[in-house]
Amino acid sequence: MIYKADCLHFKGHIPCKPHKENGFHCADCSAYTPVSKRILIIKLGAIGDVIRTTPLVVKFKKLYPNCKITWLTWTPDILPSSQIDEILKWDHNSLMYAQNSEWDIAINLDKEKEAGALLKVIDAKEKYGFVLKNNEIQPINELAQHKFFTGMFDDVSKANTKSYLQEIFEICGFEHQGEPYLMDTHSEKGYQWNLPTDKKIIGLNTGCGGRWTTRLWTIDKWVELVAELKTQNPDAFILLLGGEAEDARNKEIQARSGASYLGYYSLFEFINLVNHCHMVITQVTMGMHITLALGKKIILMNNIFNPNEFDLFGKGEIVMPNKSCKCFYRGSCLDGTSCMEELPASKIAEAVLRHY
């Protein structure tokens, strides 16, 4: 009996897929595929940040068709297991594995010190991103300097003309060429929705998370937008989207506007619900990344971030308030009243009409 630990299908602790499906043994297996590169991606981050890093997987799989990609993260459930070979939650067991393995390429795209510390100590032929040096997180080489400085200095960040994808691809020595996000639609889970099948569904993702509340649009504005959309697109079905934090506001918007609201759901259900939308109107939040990952049309409301950061893949446009925003990457408004008050519903409705 022999085994081939260099095979892409090899598990070691359990039978591999070719054996389970066809009874193959390593000695005479027609599915034997030697691993071309072993690649470790460290991207812990928030769910949205993890989603928007997945185009790197597409790039590596194209460049090294038989590579094995291992991803270490705080939120493993969001990643598509059908397209990433190993998805590991950041814990003691995973760290032991990462530190005692040999990697061809290791990438850390997070500025958390623990992530930089891991990149420092692991055994990898090539390392990219951010590493712990002198007890602080720093760029490991010149490729990571641009992204590092845009995170360090507001004036550099405001002057930046590169998207997030351009920046992280450059960290790895690549050029982003339209590689898409990766995400499961979770359609196989059999979720059932009370939605029309003969109308275009416009999803209104009404929240923005708790960190950057200067992004929040008022309930009055959402109610006004629903009225304009109903007049402008009478054949559309207006659906309110959000999580538990948006439940109360969505119920009020529903009561005042007549828009549909089905409630809040688990992450996988939310993804599947968004997948039924033709277009989503959202602020810069997790819902934006999910919308882009699913390839839906999008109208993105933005005020406090550099709009160059976002690549919409030609699926929509970014709409900004009429008033210039002073609150770059701030969670509270310097003027006391958010510039989002100067973003009229009509401006969003006009953008919808251009992409509907």
Asked if residue 251 has pLDDT above 70, the reply is yes
Q: What is the pTM of this model?
A: 0.92
pLDDT for residue 1: 85
Q: What is the per-residue pLDDT across 275-318, written as a single tens digit (0 to 9) for each?
A: 999 999 999 889 999 999 999 999 999 987 899 999 999 999 99
When pLDDT is averaged across residues 255-259 and rounded to a whole number, the result is 98
pLDDT for residue 338: 75
Asked if residue 102 has pLDDT above 90, the reply is yes
pLDDT for residue 216: 84
Asked if residue 336 has pLDDT above 70, the reply is no
Asked if residue 330 has pLDDT above 90, the reply is no
Domain 35-171 matches domain 197-355 at the CATH topology level: yes
> In DSSP terms, which residues pair with 39 in a beta bridge?
69, 105
Alpha-carbon radius of gyration of the chain: 23
pLDDT for residue 342: 87
Q: What is the per-residue pLDDT across 189-217, written as a single tens digit (0 to 9) for each?
A: 999 999 999 999 999 999 887 666 677 89
Q: What is the per-residue pLDDT across 59-100, written as a single tens digit (0 to 9) for each?
A: 999 999 999 999 999 999 999 999 999 999 999 999 999 999
* 168, 175 contact by CB (below 8 A): no
Q: What is the per-residue pLDDT across 218-239, written as a single tens digit (0 to 9) for each?
A: 999 999 999 999 999 999 999 9
Asked if residue 132 has pLDDT above 80, the reply is yes
Asked if residue 19 has pLDDT above 90, the reply is yes
CA–CA dist 96, 299 (Å, integer): 43
When pLDDT is averaged across residues 267-279 and rounded to a whole number, the result is 97
When pLDDT is averaged across residues 23-52 and rounded to a whole number, the result is 94
**Which residue did the predictor score with more confidence, 331 or 350?**
350
pLDDT for residue 284: 86
Residue 71: name the closest of 63, 255, 61, 62 by CA.
61
| Distance between start and end Cα atoms, the chain | 61
Query: Average per-residue pLDDT in the chain?
Result: 94
Cβ atoms within 10 Å of 148's Cβ, excluding its own = 19
* 302, 310 contact by CB (below 8 A): yes
**Which residue did the predictor score with more confidence, 51 or 208?**
51
Per-residue pLDDT band for 339 (boundaries 50, 70, 90) equals confident
CATH number of 35-171: 3.40.50
pLDDT for residue 175: 97
pLDDT for residue 208: 82
Q: Outline where DSSP puts E strands in the chain.
A: 38-42, 68-73, 86-89, 102-108, 123-133, 136-139, 200-205, 236-241, 260-261, 279-283, 297-301, 316-319
Q: What is the per-residue pLDDT across 105-121, written as a single tens digit (0 to 9) for each?
A: 999 999 999 999 999 99
**Which residue did the predictor score with more confidence, 296 or 337?**
296
Please report the sign of the dihedral spanned by the C-alpha atoms of residue 46, residue 175, residue 120, residue 39.
positive
Residues contacting residue 198 through CB under 8 Å, at least 6 positions apart: none
In Å, how far are 106, 201, 245 from 218, measured between CA atoms? 43, 22, 14
Q: What is the per-residue pLDDT across 157-196, written as a single tens digit (0 to 9) for each?
A: 999 999 999 999 999 999 999 999 999 999 999 999 999 9
Residue 283: name the closest of 236, 201, 356, 221 by CA.
221
**Which residue did the predictor score with more confidence, 323 or 175?**
175
pLDDT for residue 301: 94
Please report the sign of the dihedral spanned by the C-alpha atoms of residue 351, residue 354, residue 355, residue 356.
positive
Residues contacting residue 316 through CB under 8 Å, at least 6 positions apart: 279, 297, 298, 299, 300, 351, 355
Going by their DSSP bridges, the two strands 123-133 and 136-139 should be labelled as: antiparallel
CA–CA dist 25, 8 (Å, integer): 14
Asked if residue 6 has pLDDT above 90, the reply is yes
pLDDT for residue 111: 95
pLDDT for residue 56: 98
Asked if residue 334 has pLDDT above 70, the reply is no
Per-residue pLDDT band for 345 (boundaries 50, 70, 90) equals very high
pLDDT for residue 109: 97
For Cα atoms 309, 312, 317, give the angle at the middle one, nearest 5 degrees.
Answer: 95
Residue 171 identity:
I
Instruction: Give me the residue spans of the domains in the chain.
Output: 35-171, 197-355
Best CATH choice for the domain 197-355 from the list 3.30.360.10, 3.40.50.720, 3.50.50.60, 3.40.50.2000: 3.40.50.2000
